[in-house]
Amino acid sequence: MCGRFVVAEVGSELVGVLRVDVEGDDLPAASFNVAPTDAVAVVLDSAKTDPPTRRLERARWGLVPSWAKDPKIGARAFNARSEELEDKPMFRGALAKRRAIVPTSGYYEWKNVDGAKTPHYIHPADDGPLFMAGLYEWWRDPAKADDDPAKWLLSFTILTRDAIGHLGSIHDRMPVFMDPDHADAWLDTSTDNVRDVLDAAIDAAPAVAETLADHVVSKAVGNVRNNAPGLILPEE
């Protein structure tokens, strides 16, 4: 499970290795306590150009499918179990054609011991970027005029799988971490081998997980109103 994460850098500083062609004009600022329904930047390949254009775009966390009556449904769809994607209408279409990468600095997970929950910050040991596999959707707001810039909402979800190694001692689920070497295959809008692409991403995630470090942080991270660099520091 991934219910909070950190984006300490923005723009090209965070996604340089993914070879982004275009960065959106309204990218969100850095955040040390990203929660569902917050906006962050995601990477996707736009099939509207030939060849596709790799874009870094502002998106809301929590997938809102095109058929939704309103965006409220997205608050419950911030994670998607990778083993169930093909069975759920909310995610099936996005898996086929709308795959994204969510660039982060790390994420928070709560370890439950005898009913007491302790927050951990999980991040690359070298403090580099941590990429997560995601899906995205565009939702059209029927209440807004066609020329309204807010007519279309871009939203996303983060894929999860069974946790392994030391991460499994913190929580039984972890994000599907994305190795940059797999990024092109994951983002490719033309592939017909969706099952193979998904399986490859799931199978590659443990190698990234083994490189991650973690430490206990302040319980202040549990309050979404708290958002400062100090949240990721080890608890004293």
Sheet with 4-7, strands from edge to edge, namely 31-34, 4-7, 106-113, 116-124, 212-216
Helix (H, G, I), strand (E, B) or coil at 209: helix
Contact assessment for residue 174 and residue 209, using Cβ atoms and an 8 Å cutoff: yes
Which range of residues forms the domain containing residue 29? 4-232
Mean pLDDT over residues 26-49, rounded?
94
Lowest mean pLDDT among 44-48, 119-123, 218-222: 44-48
What CATH number did the domain enclosing 51 receive? Answer: 3.90.1680.10
Active-site residues, by number, are: 2, 109
Length of the chain: 236
Mean pLDDT over residues 179-184, rounded?
93
Q: Which pLDDT does position 168 carry in this prediction?
A: 95
Q: Is the dihedral of CA 235, 210, 104, 37 positive or negative?
A: negative
In this prediction the pTM is 0.95
Structural domains counted in the chain:
1
